[in-house]
Structure 1
Amino acid sequence: MKVQVERLKEVSIEILKGLHLPEKEAGLVAECLIRAEMRGIDTHGVRFLKLLSDRVSRQMICIPTPLKVIREEGATALLDGGNGIGQVAAHKAMKISIQKARDYGIGITLVRNTNHIGILAYYTQMAAEEGMVGVVMCNSAPSMAPWGGVDPFFGTNPLSIAIPCNSKGPIILDMSSSVVARGKIRKAQRMKEPIPLGWALDESGTPTTDPVAALKGTLLPIGGPKGYGLALMIDILAGVLPGSQYGPNVKTFHEPLGPTGIGVFTMAIHIERFMPLVQFKTLIHSYSEMIKNSRKAKGVSRIYLPGEIEREKEEKSLLEGVELNDSVIDELNKLLEQVKSPVRLNSFQRK
């Protein structure tokens, strides 16, 4: 069923406030989760609320987020997320990076000791909307072995880069360093569906289509050794450099094993330090059209830019609502009941 975007956001905020997040933090987290749902990335959407609730009940996360500036000098800053809400820490880091890029041409802010931050595109788009290039990386819990290995060591360690453009919106790359994000394996497990061959190996290192075996084994890096190298470098820049956890020391947010220790790297580049923004946007628009109008392979009717499919889904969701299955709606209503809210996501509120 489809739920209106604003209604889903209201429900999410109600749950988050019931978990004792301050109004500002609740609004920010809800916006990030709903944006993921709108863009078709439901693995990073409102299901996060149940995971957060579990951590709150076990006192495994600090609310409100005790964010601290550890070091700040020139174009750089280092924050400690205080084992609080990851979205709050990442949002603050990118805001600092954007301001430093205005002052110095480039801004780099790292975060240590935080948690799951949601879709990275949310933060890189912040920079793009200010006429800057945005770059965000973070590490995550072990799910991918070094190339040639079988034991999970790195996370899916995602990377996002956003580029301002004259067209409908920025070009946004948001990708994991594995062939597929671990969330898609979990979704296949929930739906009791097989996964494509080439996504993962089981515990013995044998290719598998069984999501349960895949979660016990290891995901495959994108491009083989290249994805392995990318995951390693992201782990160093987002984990080692800020003094956060890294490699197998990072804990998953999906199980109550303790603070995750996730690290985040944010960077903003002020385009006008290199050329006028209008000129840059015009060039990127022209460049994009060249790509989209290039000769297509047999059976292909359209060439997409990175993030274009997600942007179109977001626009459609804004008009038609967000698609949620009954189990997610039931879970949201259980959370509303748990936080003693009178609000319910009922059938008449669906679109």
Structure 2
Amino acid sequence: MKRYNESALKSFCEELLGKMGMSKLDSGVVADSLVTANMEGVDSHGISRLPIYSKRFLDNRINISPNIQLQEKSPSVLVVDGDNGLGHVISYHSILKGIEMAKSTGTTAIAIKNSNHFGTASYFCKLAAEQNLVCIGFTNSPPGIAPWGGKKAFFGTNPIAFGFPTDDDKPVIIDLSTSIVARGKIILAANQGKEIPEGWAIDREGQPTTSAEAALEGSVLPLGGAKGAALALAVEILTGVLSGAAFGPKVKNLYDEKEIEPANVGHFFILLDIKKFIDLDVFFQSINMLLKEMKAVPKALESSEIRYPGERRRQEALNSLKEGIHLPDSVLGELVRLGEQFDIPFPCPMKTDLLT
């Protein structure tokens, strides 16, 4: 099994994006976001996305060097026009400005339009948590979920994320789609020629399917049935309607080769400065007690440990630092070819006794 060093993968991403015209700062953000997703075991939002991003930069469907407009509508409201840039870049600059504002006022709401896919929402929650801010993040996406009772995809998978800092650099990070599974996992399965588990999706006729291709033509099932569909609607209103971005089927699909219009994805963030609500030390004492007491709850027979959201990702990242990041052959082939296109050699696998 071939595994790759995270620093080498980041350098590859940065060099590739730089050759296409992205600034050093922005390429570093995108590379860090993508490779961090791989390190944390979220491969569907990792470096496998680099080929499609690159293709859309080259065919001018995504602006590689956007003129991002950050407008302070009030001391606590930031409205952003992303100029059709990549979502990672737009959200990063928006979050930095939002953190500055929240530290002054206590709260900031950020509405973003004219964006694109932004990777994992957890990435931006962690940026805020590092500054001892709470972050709640939302994004819409191309149609993936049918409204409850329907069979045609209408809402995006529309994730919701929360980030809460702790005093030991182990934040609570909650990142979940309003679908039963992120659509990116189905895209990855389709690219690898794999089936998906039962209960993930329906085909275009509304029938359950284990075919990734049929699922992409049909609909991902909402998380918790009608409740997940209701949450998807709420996210659509915040990210699409309130921000002025596209909503529902008007959000364009990055993977649709026939599409020429900008995706116009919308994001929405809420930032809270803990110190404006409660003494920071008291907050840390309370959240640590909460987590400790939660983890001390008697375990079910099949459970070896109770973990809070963010712990598994952190452990996966630590393992990846030591053992490297595994890339499927299909993803590896795409990345090698992409590197060859720009005369950038893909990194060599790590040498370790763990490899066979």
Using the TM superposition, give the Cα deviation of residue 246 of structure 1 relative to its aligned residue in structure 2, in angstroms: 0.4
Contact kept, 8 Å, 1:167 with 1:285, in 2: the verdict is: no
Deviations 1:292-317 (A, max 9, x none): 11012221111121121111101111
Using the TM superposition, give the Cα deviation of residue 255 of structure 1 relative to its aligned residue in structure 2, in angstroms: 2.5
Structure 1, 164-173 or 322-331: larger mean CA deviation: 322-331
Contact kept, 8 Å, 1:96 with 1:107, in 2: the verdict is: no
Structure 1, 160-169 or 107-116: larger mean CA deviation: 160-169
State the match for 1:290 in structure 2. Answer: 293
Deviations 1:76-98 (A, max 9, x none): 11010001121111111111221
In structure 2, what is the Cα distance between the partners aligned to 1:10 and 1:124?
Answer: 24
State the match for 2:201 in structure 1. Answer: 200
In structure 2, what is the Cα distance between the partners aligned to 1:329 and 1:219?
Answer: 27
What pairs with 1:72-87 in structure 2 (closer than 5 Å)? Answer: 72-87=73-88
TM-score scaled by length of structure 2: 0.94
State the match for 2:248 in structure 1. Answer: 247
Unpaired segments ≥5 residues, structure 2: none
Structure 1, 261-270 or 166-175: larger mean CA deviation: 166-175
Unpaired segments ≥5 residues, structure 1: none
In structure 2, what is the Cα distance between the partners aligned to 1:121 and 1:144?
Answer: 21
Aligned-pair RMSD on alpha carbons?
Answer: 1.6
AA in 2 matched with 1:224 = G
State the match for 2:151 in structure 1. Answer: 150
State the match for 1:3 in structure 2. Answer: 4
Contact kept, 8 Å, 1:83 with 1:115, in 2: the verdict is: yes
In structure 2, what is the Cα distance between the partners aligned to 1:348 and 1:336?
Answer: 18
Deviations 1:149-192 (A, max 9, x none): 11110000011100112345100000000000011112222333
Contact kept, 8 Å, 1:96 with 1:109, in 2: the verdict is: no
Runs of 4+ aligned residues of structure 1 deviating over 4 Å after TM superposition are 347-351
What pairs with 1:37-76 in structure 2 (closer than 5 Å)? Answer: 37-76=38-77
In structure 2, what is the Cα distance between the partners aligned to 1:251 and 1:50?
Answer: 18
In structure 2, what is the Cα distance between the partners aligned to 1:333 and 1:210?
Answer: 28
Q: Which SS does the other structure have where 1:59 is aligned?
A: coil
State the match for 2:92 in structure 1. Answer: 91
TM-score scaled by length of structure 1: 0.96
Using the TM superposition, give the Cα deviation of residue 348 of structure 1 relative to its aligned residue in structure 2, in angstroms: 6.3
State the match for 2:320 in structure 1. Answer: 317
Contact kept, 8 Å, 1:3 with 1:349, in 2: the verdict is: no
Of 325, 329, 333, the residue aligned with 1:326 is 329
Structure 1, 150-159 or 54-63: larger mean CA deviation: 54-63
Q: Which SS does the other structure have where 1:290 is aligned?
A: helix
Contact kept, 8 Å, 1:113 with 1:260, in 2: the verdict is: yes
Contact kept, 8 Å, 2:5 with 2:350, in 1: the verdict is: no
What pairs with 1:183-332 in structure 2 (closer than 5 Å)? Answer: 183-256=184-257, 257=259, 258-332=261-335
Count matched residues: 350
State the match for 1:345 in structure 2. Answer: 347
State the match for 1:128 in structure 2. Answer: 129
In structure 1, what is the Cα distance between the partners aligned to 2:12 and 2:24?
Answer: 13
Q: Which SS does the other structure have where 2:138 is aligned?
A: strand
Q: Which SS does the other structure have where 2:64 is aligned?
A: coil
